[in-house]
Structure 1
Amino acid sequence: MSAGEPIHAMPDPVDESLPDYVLALQRAANYLTEDQQRLLRRAWSVGAAAHAGQTRRSGEPYITHPVAVAAVLAEQRVDVETLIAAILHDTLEDTPLARATIAGEFGETVAELVDGVTKLDKLQFQDRQEAAAESFRKMLLAMARDLRVILIKLADRLHNMRTLGAQTPEARLRVARETLEIYAPIAQRLGMNLIKAELQDLGFRAIHPWRHAVLEKRIRTQPLLRREALSRIEAQVAQRLTKEGLQYRLISRIKSPWSIYSKMRAEGKSFDQVMDVFGFRIVVRSVSECYHALGVAHSVFKPLDGRFRDFIAIPKANGYQSLHTVLFGPYGSPIEVQIRTEEMDLIAERGIAAHWTYKHGGSASNSAQTRAHSWIANLLESQRATGSSLEFLENVKVDLFPDEVYLFTPKGDILELPRNATALDFAYAVHTDVGNHAVAARVDKKLVPLRTKLVSGQKVEVISAKSAAPKPQWLEFVITGKARTAIRHQLKSLQHEDAVQLGHRMLDRALEDLGTSLDRLPAPRLEAYLADLRYPRLEALLSEIALGNRMPAQVALALARQQPTAGSVALQAVEPALGARAPGDRILITGNERGVITFSNCCLPIPGDDIMGYHTAGRGIVVHRMDCPNVGDYRKSPERWVAIGWDRDVSGDFHSALLVQVENRPGVLAQVAAAIAQAESNIEGVEYLERDSNVAAIRFAIEVADRKHLADVIRRVRRLSVVHGVQRL
């Protein structure tokens, strides 16, 4: 169907003639005005005409699926535009209906929503991971434009999960897994608890049908004694709330098979242990009444120390607000109580769908929508700096299910971070530039390292320096996706700069052997060579040389337009490697060449050692000591040898190892460790290699600045009366 072509749809039917599935939608959408209801029926008419002749795997007409998706959303009381877009969400992909036709009939907003959801329909996780992750990026972009896109997608997934039985066993498993890994966490992150809970339970039933059935039966057939106990507790709490003059709803909470199964696995508990908890929710009219009801609950049963959480004063990242407390029950079982207002209850159940306000971000009072937009904005900032789609998807997964800690900036602002977040995560949460230049932090006015884990309520101040830059080790302890993405991006940038500089020196040296240099090469010849190898710029070629993906001698020959004679390639590489060149001709390293210089673990070279470099594809130059036992093997590939040495200005700490023979008695290890620390060396690891009744041989992995520093460490250790011998490994 082309743009502007009239829609040949069935006329708007009267209510009595509507199919049952459309009547179900109308009943769910009874909050709409009559004009809006008429528009909804028109959308069904257009959708039914477009999908005419198409069926689902179950054999039902295809139109039953989009109408059911709209019914799911109507239960969330969303606006009519979202419902119309839900009914038409598969038309652009699967029918001849054109976008312009939808826009002409129902408006540009509906067309935008349908178009946004259509672009997400390629989100298939059974294909290559990269394709899935790239599709996920598109979903985030669509969500950023209009959050209603993800509402439709979640409702679409929920109905597909409800009708999963028609799929093949393989498809059921695949769809269920991606539901539990991606869609349920997104629903949780957007505060949509009702949809999240059903997605989790349906996913669990599809993957483990027998386990789900057993748990469901056990929940259904709870002992009569437990039901009586629940009723008595409920009556006691209700009586006291009434006496205090509070208007309330008191609801006993029922656990789902998925929540029980998750708790059994995570905490290693039995079914009876998980179920041995009574749960209640108290819903009142105002915030002040929440705290009043909390006092009432604490007067009926004693609270457990340390189990009170105030999510009203400090809401969760998805906008969830409640008071949580745990009480000593009369039957030896804990009682979990949630206290919230009606509005908080609505937001807790429906999240961003609560009080839909027709505009991006909603009103200032709708914290769930505001926080959702903030979360998506942060993800989009992260994805712009991420090179790999897979890396981006992993970062999103990290951020989807955080147990938050709440921290204060020096100005008193509150930042939310996942549990176990470090001071460096905090720095990146403040701003990427603050993280990139961070050197330490003050937590509650005490100076701490960046790897320090933070806990709720702490005041954190980041100390930065313009000269500071991210280190690869930072990736080992940061946990937020934003920090990890920013660090990787900066390291790649720094690595590229270092690689270009090193590659320039290596290529220039190879060209000098042929009597020329980069500066003297004719520009057309260099440009033609780069074009032949499909390098956009000279920097890309130089980086590839430094990383070991191209040999400088071969590139130099091609650029100098000389044909290699027998053995000439090997000869020009061997000569510098064997030290035939003057020391000034060697490549001098400082130890700070990020990503292009690697120090081998077999011999652990440190400044002051006589060293050689081995050009390794993908790793750049790997540095070995000349007395390394593996050097003999590298003689078989002399063209990969690189003449290197230490620069006058070498900075940083380098890995080394000591073998220390000591008397085997208590307290000796501590004495050796203290001596190493006094020499201002950091101990990275300790390992007992041999041990008998009298003597122990211990390997200490340490960090030193150079050979002089290492000699100082060895001297201090040797002075100990309990030490029989020390040698470098």
Structure 2
Amino acid sequence: KEFGEEIADLVEGVTKISIFENQAKANSKAENFRKLILATSKDIRVLLVKLADRLHNMRTIDAISQIEKKERIAKETMEIYAPLADRMGMHIIRDELEDLSFKVLNNNARVLIKNRLDEIKDDKVNSFNSISLQFSKLLNDKKINSKIIGREKTPFSIWRKVQKKRISLEQISDIIGFRIILDSVEDCYKALGAFHKEWNCIPGKFKDYISSPKINKYQSLHTSIIGPNRRPIEIQLRTLQMHEYAERGIASHWKYKSSEKFNSLTWKEYDWLADLVEIIEKNDNPEHSYEYTKLQMFQENVFCFTPKGSVIKLPKDATPIDFAYAVHTKVGDHAIACKINGKDSELQSILRNGDVVDITTSKNKSPSLHWIPITKTGKARSAIRKYWYKKGEEKAQRIKKYNTTLWISLTDKPGKLGEITTLLGQHSLNISSVEMKEKSKEYINFKFNL
């Protein structure tokens, strides 16, 4: 009555999540994830409110006295809420959620890294200031307006890098991070050219996320150079709008479209959430859907076309099988062949940006279980498993047959094996194979597959 239907819906969505969280102990991580996605599917702002709520819970987690409960909440935050914040481009919230969880789950490692960062802080600040002056001078000489800010790695991101790359803390600490905010996309590329002309760039470290944004819509130019201090320096170049999106993700959207009602925002922007809901609703096994939805959330994209020109967005290294399932589950289930850019191709081929894909189907065809390791989308994997799971249930209802293995130890006397096979036959059992497994002086061990 007081705040209107829209606010009531948001409160209801967040309340639903809070109710299942109170039962969380009994549920698996996958089941909690499933309920969270379904509760937020109606309005993505429910997820924003829930992330803010979880952030508040993590900031006040020291009020909980039970260590086991604290660890369970921190683990759930690290495995479910931090990745969702990342998927929505909300890096500030992701970093804080990860750091607060890290403090609960591995405080010794966090303290060690923080102490090391504090030791090198003064040196780092002096170094940052002197390099910033050189960068500013270079860009001013080129008449490029810029704002330079430092990028400090979080203890958790440093720890993850140490674990992943098997390197020492010292090797990471000497990389200084710079974010350079520029007036336009054109200035971003001009500044990149200026840096590469002045200092040697490190091969393999350049990434253009402006022309090919990350799956969570993040945009920036990333490069690493051997800077004026003869040490590696990481640089990110972006416009102010890109910077605000990188910090606050989809929450920054309303700053630029504040007059727009949420419901009129195109669902396309949040189609990943719709995909997660579809997988979860079709999948009876929460463990499977958790695996598939994680796949769906964190993959870079290629864009392919149907023969009629519709765009199909797929993860990197996707196959025509993924394409077929993205068009429609029935197209995937009955796919027998494909053409890529007019040429006959294998269904297992890897698709590239801009490929035009034409799928041939047959009603008599079923999807192959061998496709599961080849496919890259959660939707395809989920649909293939679902198809065969249903087929299995139908078959089980038609014929109540099952396979089993029987191990029998027989005395080493003539006719004993014949007696056993006769006995099995009298009980309507079919022997598919018999193997002699071991032999001693008095006994022979047989394995019957029935």
Asked if 1:409 is matched to 2:305, the reply is yes
Of 266, 270, 273, the match for 2:164 = 266
In 2, distance between residues paired with 1:234 and 1:413? 46
Q: 2:195 aligns with which of 293, 297, 305?
A: 297
Specify the code of the residue in structure 1 equivalent to 2:106. Answer: H
Q: Give the % identical residues.
A: 36
| TM-score (ref. length: structure 1) | 0.52
Aligned to 1:674: none
CA offset at residue 496 of structure 1?
3.6
- Which residue pairs with 1:606 in the alignment? none
- How do 1:269-284 residues align onto structure 2 when only pairs under 5 Å count? 269-284=167-182
CA deviation map 1:496-531 (0-9, x unaligned): 44x16xxxxxxxxxxxxxxxxxxxxxxxxxxxxxxx
Match of 2:441 in 1: none
Contact kept? 2:188, 2:221, Cα under 8 Å: yes
1:410-442 deviation per Cα after TM superposition (whole angstroms, max 9, x unaligned): 667765544554453344334433432344566
Q: How does 1:494-533 map to 2 (within 5 A)?
A: 494-497=391-394, 499=395
Counterpart check, 1:377 vs 2:228? no
CA distance in 2, matches of 1:572, 1:462: 57
Deviation at 1:204, TM superposition (A): 0.8
Is the aligned partner of 1:202 residue 2:100?
A: yes
Q: What does the per-residue CA deviation read over 1:587-638, in whole Å, with 9 as the maximum and x for residues that have no partner?
A: xxxxxxxxxxxxxxxxxxxxxxxxx845xxxxxxxxx24x544799577xxx
Structure 2 residue 67 is matched with structure 1 residue 169: yes
Pair 1:574-2:425 in alignment: yes
Of 56, 75, 82, the residue aligned with 1:184 is: 82
TM-score when normalising by structure 2: 0.82
Q: Shift in Å at residue 471 of structure 1?
A: 1.6
Helix, strand or coil: the match of 2:225? strand
Does residue 262 of structure 2 align to residue 360 of structure 1? yes
Distance 1:330 1:347, change over 3 A: same
Note if contact 2:33-2:80 (Cα within 8 Å) is conserved in structure 1.
no
Structure-2 change in CA distance of 1:306 and 1:348 (3 Å): same
Structure 1, unaligned runs of 5 or more: 1-103, 501-539, 550-569, 578-611, 615-623, 642-729
Question: C-alpha separation between the residues in 1 aligned to 2:321 and 2:22?
Answer: 35
How big is the shift at 1:271?
0.7
**1:286 Cα deviation after fit:** 2.1
What RMSD, in angstroms, separates the aligned Cα atoms of the two structures?
3.3
Q: Within 1, Cα distance between the matches of 2:107 and 2:145?
A: 42
Inter-CA distance 634–257: structure 2 relative to 1 (3 Å threshold)? closer
Query: In the alignment, is the contact (CA less than 8 A) between 2:13 and 2:46 conserved in 1?
Result: yes
Confirm whether residue 475 of structure 1 aligns to residue 333 of structure 2: no
1:55-204 equivalences in 2 (<5 Å):
104-121=1-18, 122-123=20-21, 126-130=24-28, 133-167=30-64, 168-204=66-102
SS of the equivalent of 1:324 reads strand
1:546 to 387, 395, 401: 401
Deviation at 1:134, TM superposition (A): 4.1
Q: Any idea what SS the aligned residue of 1:316 has? A: coil
Aligned equivalents of 1:445, 1:237: Cα separation in 2? 50
Aligned pair count reads 420
Task: Report the CA distance shift for 1:223/1:353 in structure 2 as closer, same or farther (over 3 A).
Answer: closer
One-letter code of the match for 2:387? Q
Structure 1 residues 321 and 195: CA distance shift in structure 2, 3 A:
same
Of structures 1 and 2, the larger Rg is shown by 1
**How far, CA to CA, are the matches of 2:94 and 2:303 in structure 1?**
28
Q: Which moved more, 1:430-439 or 1:275-284?
A: 430-439
* Matched residue type, 1:157: R
Structure 2 letter corresponding to 1:159: H
8 A Cα contact 1:325 1:336, kept in partner: yes
Query: Quick one: higher RCO (CA 8 Å, sep 6+), 1 or 2?
Result: 2
Cα offset, 1:333, TM superposition: 2.6
Aligned equivalent of 1:459: 355
Aligned to 1:327, the other structure's residue is in SS state strand
Q: What is the match of residue 492 of structure 1?
A: 389
> By how many angstroms is 1:377 displaced?
0.9
Partners of 1:230 and 1:413 in 2: how far apart?
48
Matching residue of 2:418? none
Match of 1:338 in 2: 236
